[in-house]
Structure formats: C-alpha cells, structure tokens
Chain A
Amino acid sequence: MVKVAVSGINAVDNPGPGLGIIKGLREGKTPVSVVGLAYDAMEPGIYLTDLIERAYLLPYPSEGEAPFLNRLLYIKEREGLEVVIPALDAELPLFIDLEPRLSAYGLKTFLPTQKQFKLRAKDHLPIVAEAIGIKTPNTLAVTSYEEFTRALSQLKFPVMVKGLFYKALRAYTQAEAQQHFQAIVAEWGYPVIVQEVVEGEEMNVVGVGDGEGGHFGLLAIKKLWITSLGKIWTGVTVTHPGLLTAAENFVRHFRWRGAFELETIVSGDEIYLIEINPRFPAWIYFAVGVGINLPERLLKAALGEEPERDWDYPAGKLYIRFTDDRVTDLEVFQHMVTRGER
C-alpha cells in the first residue's frame, strides 16, 4: 500500500485536478491510501471519505518555506507518507524548491525543474512554440501604460489582455482593453501580455514527461462545452497528428519531467500555443477513462518504477462532468477548523 498525498481537492466551479488524480490512482494496479492536502476547510475533497482517507490543511505557500516544509514533514510522520503529487500552480514553485529536502526525508515527487516551470510564463510562449514547431498568436509583453497603448496600435482586435501567469480577458475595443489592463495590473502587476485572438478549435494535450525526452503517454482533447469560467464540462478525444507531434517535440526538446498540459488553438493546419500548465489539468480523469492512467504512471515514476508508455486511444471518446451532492456531519468541518486535519 503506497501512502500518497494529493493537493487540488477543491472540486468547485473552478475545480482543481486533485480528485481526478485520486480517481486515477484508485483505479490503478498499485494499491494506494490517499491523503488530501487542502488550503481551506471547505474544500469538497475533505468530505469525500470514500476517495480520501485522511485530509490535512496546509499553510498558504505565501507564508514561506519553513511553515510549509514543517507541515509536510508533520503529515509525513503522522501518515507514513511516501509520495506527494502537488496539483496547483501556486504551490508548485515551493514544491520544486523543496524537492531535494523532501527527497532527503524520504518524500518522493516527480516534478518539472525550476527552469522548466519558468517556461509557462506567457512571455516565454513564443520561444517554446518556435522550438516545437508551432505558432503563437501575435503577442506583446508590456510594462507600462505607454507600451500598452503602443501594443494596441500594432495588434488586431479582438485581443486578449493577460497577466503573466493568471487571468485572461477578451477585449473588442480600445476602451475595453484599457479597462482590462487596469484590472490586471491591479491584481497581478507587470508585465501584462497583449495577444491577438486566434479563431479556431480549442484543443489541449495532457502528458507526463520522463525527464529524458520521452513520455509516459499523451492524450489530446477538444473542449465541446465550457462553463462561464471557461472550464471544460464536456469534451471529446481527438487524434490530431500535428498537435500530438508538437507535444512529443515539447517533451523531447525541453526534456520535460512530470505532468503537463498544452493549451492550443488549432486553425486549419496551424497550431497556436496559448498556455503551458506544468501540472495535470482538472480533466485528467479523461485520460484514465480512455485507458491511459497518467496519475498512476506519474506515481510509479515518483517511486522509481518504470511506468507503461503505451498511449493508443480512440478518437471520439466523450467526457462528461457533472455536479453531485453529499451530506455529512458538522464534525468533519469542526475538526478541519480546530485541528487542521481529519
């Protein structure tokens, strides 16, 4: 029985990947006992005792390295934890920095390097896209209002106004773009990314790189139905050869290690890279459901075992997300609030 901790168990309207990862681990051949890592006592995963045996609150990464490491080591001691699979962008830099120390304490991970993690910054996308043989929409990074207005005169509307790591707002007019610009500067600071909108099919690829240029499987999907937050609600598997080749180029060129998701727009024969996520997406269970259990393969890689590498999957498999309800006692919430664990 492998004791594995997974974060991102916030299965809300902007869901974290945790529950999908956990469902994959539970469907795998390696028996697991799952510890859920949460940042808020209200995260739904805490209450799903059939998926998550034990749950703990973590301090926010912004509180610094020491409290975070201490908490992880406390959980490791209490639970006999062997592996951690972090799933949220905000905590990943910390986990990556802590990796050697966690490993010294016997806590295994399978993460990208700090250098690989930095590739996800949106001002790096053109370099990545060029290296893997695809395109990016016309993009400018600006660090002042003057640069922003100059950028707008060089780009065609509609444009996306984006923070370096988070948030993307669409603007059809100069006035709308300026409004978005102010909002993003206020929330995320500079640089702000201004990007032309490319019309086409939104397709994403998920995979796990082996860190040596190969991978433990890929899956490409198209979002068919999204929520008002842009989150997938229904999707379908696709076998777009150009997109899958680009993903293979990505793991080979950057020797990517760990989970990743490439978000693209496919317009005819052109593929545009929109975003790189250095972790599993929230729809990761889709891969499990079509027979490519990427969470289990990542777990094996973390344990130093050799995961499967086959990734034949049929196009036309459908993914359906749905809402669900659960009723439980206040006690669980009480424990999370008072003790930070259950």
Chain B
Amino acid sequence: MKLNRLAISEEGFIFDPETGNSYTVNETGLLILKKLREGLGPEEIAEAMSEEYEVSPEEALRDVQDFLETIARFGLWEEKAWLK
C-alpha cells in the first residue's frame, strides 16, 4: 500500500520518497493517516475520532471519507485497498 512508504512526521509533514511530493496535514489528518497505517477502516477510524474529538460517529465518518477522497486524488490511497 502506498501509505506505507510515506515518511510521516509528528508535525504533519508527509513526504513520498517515490514521487518526491510533500504534503501537510492537520492534527486530524495525521490521526487518520496513522490509523489507516495501523490497518483500520473508515468506520473504525471515525469511531476513534468521535472518542477523541467529541463529534458524532456519523460526522466523523463524513470527515474521514472526505479526507480519503482527497488523498485518493493525490494517488496516496486506493479505495479498493481496503474494500474486502
């Protein structure tokens, strides 16, 4: 999975060693990336987020899906990667 090759700093700076592209993410984005790398799916990540940030699981899931769409556009995430 492409996510595994990324260098992710605690400050939210992301570097892709294959393409040379870099990105920045906020605290929430960083949390989502870390959870994705741990192998969690969107629902599980939304659950973790709703515990962390006091948002409803539904709202958190929408945010996760938005984020996934964004990183998919950058070629860092493929939806089928975790649709089992």
Contacts and interface: CB of A to CB of B under 8 A. Distances in A.
B15 interface: yes
Contacts of B17: 238-239, 315-316
Contacts of B15: 315-316
A315 B75 CA distance: 18
Interface string B14-30: 01011111100000000
Contacts of B22: 236
B7 interface: yes
Nearest to A200: B19
Interface string A261-283: 00000101000000000000000
A221 B20 contact: yes
A238 B75 contact: no
Interface string A178-190: 0000000000000
A270 B15 CA distance: 20
Contacts of A201: 19-21
A221 B15 CA distance: 14
Interface residues of B, number: 9
Contacts of B21: 201, 222
Which secondary structure dominates chain A's binding surface?
strand
Q: Which of A224, A235, A268, A315 has the most B CB atoms < 10 Å from its CB?
A: A315
Contacts of A238: 17-20
A239 B75 contact: no
A240 B7 contact: no
Contacts of B18: 238-241, 315
A266 B7 contact: no
Contacts, number: 32
A109 to B, nearest CB: 33
B21 to A, nearest CB: 7
A18 to B, nearest CB: 26
Query: How many A residues touch the partner, as a band?
Result: 10 to 19
A202 to B, nearest CB: 10
A294 interface: no
Contacts of A268: 75
A161 interface: no
Interface in A240-275: 240-241, 266, 268
Q: Which of B7, B18, B21 has the most A CB atoms < 10 Å from its CB?
A: B18
A239 B22 CA distance: 14
A237 B18 CA distance: 9
Contacts of A266: 19
A131 B15 CA distance: 32
B7 A222 contact: no
Contacts of A235: 20
B80 to A, nearest CB: 15
B75 A224 contact: no
Nearest to B19: A201
A203 interface: yes
B75 A203 contact: no
Q: Which of B15, B20, B22 has the most A CB atoms < 10 Å from its CB?
A: B20
Q: Which of B7, B17, B75 has the most A CB atoms < 10 Å from its CB?
A: B17
A122 B19 CA distance: 25
Contacts of A237: 20
Contacts of B19: 201, 222, 238, 240, 266
Nearest to B75: A268
Contacts of B7: 315-316
A203 B75 CA distance: 17
Sorted from nearest, which 6 A-B pairs have the closest CB atoms? A315-B17, A222-B20, A238-B20, A236-B20, A240-B18, A239-B17
10 contacts: A201-B19, A201-B20, A222-B19, A222-B21, A238-B18, A240-B19, A266-B19, A268-B75, A315-B17, A316-B15
Given A315-B15, A316-B7, 7 more contacts: A222-B19, A222-B21, A235-B20, A238-B18, A239-B18, A268-B75, A315-B7
